[in-house]
Amino acid sequence: MTPAPGTGPESPSTVTDPGVLPWVRIDAASSVPPYEQLRLQILDAVNEGRLAVGTRLPPVRALAGHLGLAVNTVARAYRELEQAQVVTTRSRAGTVVAAAGDAGRSRVAEAARVFADTARANGIPADDAVALVRAALQ
């Protein structure tokens, strides 16, 4: 499928078809759940500036139909993005990219700096500290 003009990965997006994010690809063979694949692709697009603040995302049902996913799968991805303050959802306005999209990332970056300082202060080698973080994320 060819992306609509102005919506490809190389350019900022204004979603022209309300049911499509043409660059989203769900790999059914992946060990990563579909909701997480969708969440990560939208998050990357926001962080890279391909989805600008205020961009309206497709309605859950429309995107689910386009991607061949269950409505609950898309809803979960949107819900997790909302919890991370990457998007906001208002009943009539739909789901839009939030201005505070980087707030969650900033909080995590700050927590990582504090963790790294604590690990260094306690003589924990970097590999061990990373292993601790990986274990905590499981």
Q: Is the pLDDT of residue 12 over 50?
A: no
Pair 42, 57: CB distance under 8 Å: yes
Single-letter residue type at 61: R
User: Is 0.75 surpassed by the pTM of this model?
Assistant: no
13: phi then psi, degrees, rounded to nearest 5: -105, 135
Whole-number pLDDT of residue 48: 84
User: What's the rounded mean pLDDT across residues 61-82?
Assistant: 96
User: Of 53-62, 69-78, 86-95, which range is least confident?
Assistant: 86-95
Q: Please, which pLDDT band fits residue 104 given cuts at 50, 70 and 90?
A: low
Q: Is the pLDDT of residue 24 over 60?
A: yes
